[in-house]
A and B are shown apart, each in its own frame.
Chain A
């Protein structure tokens, strides 16, 4: 029974919540707890941490009780490293380019890299999409909604 537990989502879900709850509860004690009448900043998170730990134990309990299903898998069928990487790189590039070069380069970089995350995407299709979004996005956000974000800047 025990090794099969390692193949259950609820095992990891429960463990995660227990760790998180216990971590929060322990960490809260570094702020002052106070008394029930005069609660300090640490009291409320301390209570929530304990509640979360308890719920985590209940989830873990359901993992032990439910029958083992061999089809259950924790990770998705295919690991989309490229897709995930590109989706996370998009906003990261938006931050860097936006900070140093301005809105247009930021939109372009964000959309171009994110679009490459799809398996069927080509450099050309991503480039065209990025150019389109850069033009449309600048018009919408800079000229219509007037978001204070310089279109181009050199800021090092």
Chain B
């Protein structure tokens, strides 16, 4: 089994190292990093805005470029949080705690250097997991009938919605809303147009690009316009030489990295705990075992290394269910699946077999992308730091135009620009009410398949709703979903001390 995995991986490197694929991966990392660095552009906004750039490519090139964008934007976000104390991406909130004090002490460069190494270590472990776990998962999933797929999706949806920021109840509400938006369009079985309000352009459903750009583009711009004060860049002068951590810093970070990697990979295996929670737990754990816990928050390099490694190993773990089962763990993964579907690739357990080039090419490109990231950041750090100073007032109008042309180019249809405006307004209203729109995308991507399998399961069982508990595998998934809900209730009512502590510190900064 190990040998087949290694042969496949070798084949993957062959695909990813083809010159044009390598080029797309490089462009993806570069552009993703560039846009991700810009203040006010989180990973989700970056990926949605850059998604249309991949439309013209072949599926393999497109997915490699997208994965590159994903990496680049995450690292760009880390630069933003360490040098400016602006966490654009939730998992980086913890990195700010010690990263920014380090910047104030003039060690911001070293913190960035450690971040690169930690994310490489964390991601490498995650990739290794993916190589060996995915084929196993696929082998199991190919046996699944509609009932099992349905309960698995239920688990995925619940896990994804309780992961998001804010109240889990509101997260579930947003997931259901996403499922409902996924219903808009013609019914797959009877062709009846549903919830189209009589608009013919909606018969094919809402376009995923319009949904993502409305929620993470326009709604975010409306939230941030005139709200972001000019960023304070007094401390953020970093040159090439600063990136090198001192020997002492390196010695302290290496064990922290491995601990973070371990925590991250454990978190990625438990449904409902993703990168953000992994980074919280790892920071708390690192503080607990440290000999000088009181120094955390005043610039401890371990406090940067451990959460960054945890985030990346957990992020990478999220790719496993996304690629092998077709069930995305969070909104970013949902976007990547959406991009695959735009390319005409059907996600699910058959993907590895039918599109081996995409799967193994992607796996190999993760490593290549990480190496490109390191190579790119070392000489370019000066440029990234300059980008941090671009004021938001020049940024958002330009990004808005990218949104317009991006949505248009999805189908060369002007109607969708109108769609994005409407979705943007709705998204902003939801943001005002403390609903975080990320789970909408999750529900939207899974919705049609969820309905299809649900109907099929009901048909096979002759309308017996208990079929989901009668099948043993399906019952396990339903049981896990119930446990997830109970766990959330426990967390809400009893507030574990670990998370509480970090939350208090986050509030204090």
**A residues near B, CB below 8 A?**
9-10, 12-13, 16-17, 20-21, 24, 27, 31-32, 35-45, 48-49, 51-52, 55-56, 58-59, 62, 74-76, 78, 80, 83-84, 87-88, 90-92, 94-95, 98-99, 103, 106-107, 110-112, 114-115, 117-121, 125-126, 129-130, 133, 137, 141, 145-149
Contacts and interface: CB of A to CB of B under 8 A. Distances in A.
A41 B414 contact: no
Given A37-B459, A121-B393, A147-B409, A13 B417 contact: no
Contacts of B454: 39, 44
Contact of B180 (A37, A52, A107, A146): A52
Nearest to B458: A36
Nearest to A28: B194
Nearest to A49: B180
B169 A115 contact: no
A115 B394 contact: yes
Contacts of B285: none
A52 B56 contact: no
Given A44-B451, A59-B173, A83-B222, A94 B458 contact: no
B396 A114 contact: yes
A90 B407 CA distance: 14
A48 B409 contact: no
B408 A149 contact: yes
A137 B401 contact: yes
B53 interface: yes
Nearest to A111: B397
Interface in B461-486: 462-465
Contacts, number: 185
Given A31-B192, A98-B414, A111-B398, A87 B176 contact: no
Contacts of B393: 115, 118, 120-121, 125
A95 B222 contact: no
Interface string B415-432: 001101100110010001
9 cross-chain pairs, A with B, having the tightest CB-CB distances, nearest first: A36-B463, A83-B225, A37-B463, A118-B393, A41-B187, A114-B397, A115-B397, A94-B404, A41-B192
B462 A37 contact: yes
A55 B418 contact: no
B183 to A, nearest CB: 5
Contacts of B227: 76, 80
A39 B455 contact: yes
24 contacts: A9-B434, A35-B463, A37-B459, A39-B459, A44-B451, A44-B454, A48-B176, A59-B173, A78-B226, A80-B227, A83-B222, A83-B225, A83-B226, A84-B225, A91-B421, A95-B404, A95-B417, A110-B404, A114-B397, A118-B226, A120-B393, A129-B394, A133-B397, A137-B401
